[in-house]
Structure 1
């Protein structure tokens, strides 16, 4: 996973690989605190940490994962001659988690911590070890909800409102780095709304300089009130170690996903129905907009949520529910995780004036736009589900990145990187993987066409 000198990676620790031959929350006791004094009268975070740490758990998993046989560079017609190559490999891994409902034993963590796990054990701060099962998960936001067996005498963390965070706020990270056991580090919020890192499909990260390392995945990022402000997820570093740049899923995003997983067992993406791009200095100057924050609207899809709310191409979207947005990626992640049917207020800059409109978000059964998605090759293309028979390219803008890639209106995408594509969900899952090469198999007017490109 780590290569060259610039690393962006998930934080769970793989401990062992076998040889190839083997195959609505309960009321919480508030965790209050700030910078207190210890018994000697010296300023200390210890009183706060003592209350928060019991809610953060260590997670150990065992399971099997499929081997990517395509990586072996063996053509399909020759794989018959290599039956000894196993399709699965056993693995063990460690990560972290946060108890968010003590009564029901609900724990949140990262999807990649428990992905493929057959056996999940959670070690509490007091040494107890409880079995856990996956209650719900969402690969595209790297999020999982676990349920503990026979939960008793647990401590939970309360969600903070991450929309209230400011750069410079103090932050404390708690987790299980390198399998050492619970470790506490501190720092500040370094940046908000980070996206475009290709870690997840929907990105709206909190960046912090609190030391985060491998094994911190799923652990807590808290404020000085002992409230959960984020779920530690990834790091940027030269060798997989901390260099002061860590990323966490905001608590509001986590809270919304948890609510949907509990209510429906899945996440129903919210859709606005636009294609767009980032606001740069030249664009802002051309539209008399005095900022580079926000999301520029290139196109509004007919009969979409945005269309019904009166959003127009050429608008600059500036806020969601009164909270400023930094970029298109942040807008996309927030809209998606608010969920289908959610009513949101969108701030708009148009013709030198600011206004606000209310939008009822669409669900993901209709058109789904890949423009500005995790794969830039789709910029300028409009995609939609094709009744379970692939993904339809319903439009491609002239001279767009998608047109230069070779996509054409009417194409039906049936495979991506040699994986079957039946729907937009399938395509998005493939695109969310850390891969800088894309090969599409396309049905074009009854003919099979392959498009390949690095990006």
Structure 2
């Protein structure tokens, strides 16, 4: 690293001054006109003990199907797939949100597939963390450590944020150790970035880099306004466009993970899209902020609340809704059974409805979302009333891990490791966590068989 001392000396000579380091330090004013110079130091000192470094290690398992000609050439003992295990290590950040219970929030992608998770506090103490639960769609994970004298960061009301508010980011970029940067809130309700499945990001220009994931985004009260999760940059470096998951979403998800160990996804029961100026004018609305409702699903929470196709949803619990993506992310992370108030525009007039959210049913999914060994298969619930009930394999891509594992189109998955799976939700629960071996019970035509995956 280049020293700045020659620059200081050159400046002193050009001014005809003789300055010692002590003189320079003493010359810096502590106040101007009786007012103390602004500093973020008190906020950082208060909050930084609540930001932790996270290091993880594990083994990534990759499966590659062996083409049929090779299997034929080498004979019947040739395996259907090539399995490789590669050890990995990674670094990230986290935030202590409950000092008494030792809860730490971080990103799902920080701890994904990790066998060991270590949490290091600012004071140097290290703890092995337990994974309480995680949610890949919102990229949130909840850890727990067993420690005393922890410092938690209180959560702010992220719905009260405004563009232009000051923001402070604390994390562990590039494994350097705790680092503080500052900026402002550049935008709110960012979605459509294809970073995560559920997107309602706070955008900030506070410097965020690799390793900051899971770290804290704070307001000037030292409260948590978001969890830093992603950056937009051509080479993975900071260009002043970073994204954080809002604290209110984090709070909703954390409550579900603590209570159930998983996220109980909520659903409103509408399909729709973003509101354009032409669409808004057509339906008697003079603004371009909101979520347009194309269709209301029969029997859904939206139908029961009186929402109709053509409505424009403009607020959620009194807070403005900027886009359909923002509404979708907020609803999905609120938790099933929660009651919310939605502000609507119908025929140019405002009205408010109260909705009790229902739990989303997982009716079709890419199998890779459930387990990497099933990558390449599309799964769906069996027809209602069919016996036996199970998970139907709708499609299997050629030369995929699912094909190599022996799955075929039309197979009915009845259980995993002796756990009955009548639907996709059952299958997701059965596959959750680390398994040395998966014994998948399949009904194929009129026979029953097991596929054993290691």
Short-chain TM bin: 0.7 to 0.9
Q: Any unmatched runs of 5+ in structure 2?
A: 1-29, 72-76, 367-378, 384-388, 414-422, 430-454
Partner SS for 2:57: strand
* Aligned residue among 212, 222, 225 for 2:221: 225
Indicate yes or no: 2:327 matched with 1:335: no
SS for the counterpart of 1:103 is coil
- Give the CA deviation at 1:366: 7.5
2:82 and 2:364 mapped to 1: Cα distance?
Answer: 38
String of CA shifts for 1:408-452, please: whole Å, max 9, x gaps. Answer: xxxx844579558976669999xxxxxxxxxxxxxxxxxxxxxxx
CA gap 1:263/1:101 in 2 versus in 1, 3 angstroms: same
The whole-number CA distance in structure 1 between the counterparts of 2:84 and 2:281 is: 55
Q: Following TM superposition, by how much is the alpha carbon of 1:282 offset from its aligned partner in structure 2, in angstroms?
A: 1.8
1:44-90 deviations in Å (ceiling 9; x for gaps): 110111010000000001101122526xxx53664675789443211
Aligned mates of 1:43, 1:128 — CA distance in 2: 32
Q: Residue 171 of structure 2 corresponds to which residue in structure 1?
A: 175
- What TM-score do the two structures reach when normalised by structure 2? 0.73
Quick one: which of 74, 84, 87 aligns to 2:84? 87
Q: Are positions 1:75 and 2:67 aligned together? A: yes
For residues 270 and 218 of structure 1, the distance between their equivalents in structure 2, rounded to whole angstroms, comes to 24
The alignment partner of 1:357 has SS state of strand
Task: Indicate the residue corresponding to 2:117 in structure 1.
Answer: 120
Equivalent residue number for residue 48 of structure 1: 43
Q: List aligned pairs for 1:419-430, cutoff 5 A.
A: none
| Pairing 1:39-438 to 2, within 5 Å after superposition | 41-69=36-64, 74-75=66-67, 78=70, 81=78, 85-149=82-146, 151-365=147-361, 385-386=381-382, 389-390=390-391, 413-415=394-396, 418=400
Matched residues, number: 358
Q: Structure 2: how far apart are the matches of 1:354 and 1:290?
A: 12
1:275–1:369 Cα contact (<8 Å) kept: no
Check whether the contact 1:273–1:369 (CA below 8 A) recurs between aligned residues.
no
Contact 2:362–2:425 (CA under 8 A) maintained in structure 1: no
Q: What TM-score do you get using the length of structure 1 for normalisation?
A: 0.73
Q: Distance in 2 between matches of 1:313 and 1:138?
A: 31
Distance in 2 (CA, whole Å) between partners of 1:295 and 1:275 is 10
- SS of alignment partner, residue 338 of structure 1: coil
- Structure 2 vs 1, CA of residues 390 and 172 (structure 1 numbering), >3 Å: closer, same or farther? same
- Deviation, structure 1 residue 365: 3.0
Deviation at 1:105, TM superposition (A): 0.9
- CA-CA distance at 1:278 after TM superposition: 0.6
CA distance in 1, matches of 2:59, 2:266: 33
In structure 1, the gaps of 5 or more residues are 1-35, 371-382, 392-411, 430-455
Question: Could you tell me how far apart the structure 2 residues matched to 1:285 and 1:369 are?
Answer: 37
Kindly state the Cα deviation for residue 354 of structure 1 after the two structures are TM-superposed.
0.6
Q: Which has the larger radius of gyration?
A: 2
Q: Distance in 2 between matches of 1:284 and 1:240?
A: 38
Q: Is the 8 A contact 1:201 1:428 kept in 2?
A: no
